[in-house]
């Protein structure tokens, strides 16, 4: 049981490039989330998916798109990366509709030059 996995662990992009961050969970959880964490700051919610086939915006969705491919996978796409998107990105999942425990992945450290 790997929990929540994220790929890649590190990524450097040039301004304007695109990329997709991958997240997968093997716990049969319904809901999945993407957060970003800037240096010295708390986590901010980008997008979340309450169930397979649904997605909703969080606090800071601009510049991102998401896709809930199936129950296991939730990807985050940057269509045209900007230096302001330099951050650590965390994916999380919870069993059902109630946030009693969120399980977080190890994070993806993204630098946009």
Instruction: Give the footprint of other proteins on this chain (CB under 8 A).
Output: 4, 31, 33, 35, 40-45, 48, 50, 58-59, 88, 90, 92, 94, 97-107, 109
Nearer to other proteins, 33 or 74 (CB): 33
Closest separation between CB of residue 14 and other proteins, Å?
A: 24
CB atoms within 10 A of CB 103: 15
Nearer to other proteins, 13 or 94 (CB): 94
Residues 6+ apart with CB under 8 A from 42: none
CA distance linking residue 109 with residue 77, whole number of Å: 14
Closest among 77, 107, 100 to 10, alpha carbons compared: 107
Nearer to other proteins, 71 or 109 (CB): 109
Outline where 1-113 has alpha helix (H).
Answer: none
Closest separation between CB of residue 95 and other proteins, Å?
A: 11
């Amino acid at each position: 049981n790997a929990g929540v996995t994220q790929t890649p662990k590190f990524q450097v992009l040039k301004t304007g490039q695109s990329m997709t961050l991958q997240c997968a969970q093997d716990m049969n959880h319904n809901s999945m989330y993407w957060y970003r964490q800037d240096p010295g700051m708390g986590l901010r919610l980008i997008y979340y998916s309450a169930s397979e086939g649904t997605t909703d915006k969080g606090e800071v969705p601009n510049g991102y798109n998401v896709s809930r491919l199936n129950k296991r996978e939730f990807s985050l796409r940057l269509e045209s990366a900007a230096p302001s998107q330099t951050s650590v990105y965390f994916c999380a999942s919870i069993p059902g509709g109630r946030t009693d425990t969120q399980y977080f992945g190890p994070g993806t450290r993204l630098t946009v030059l």
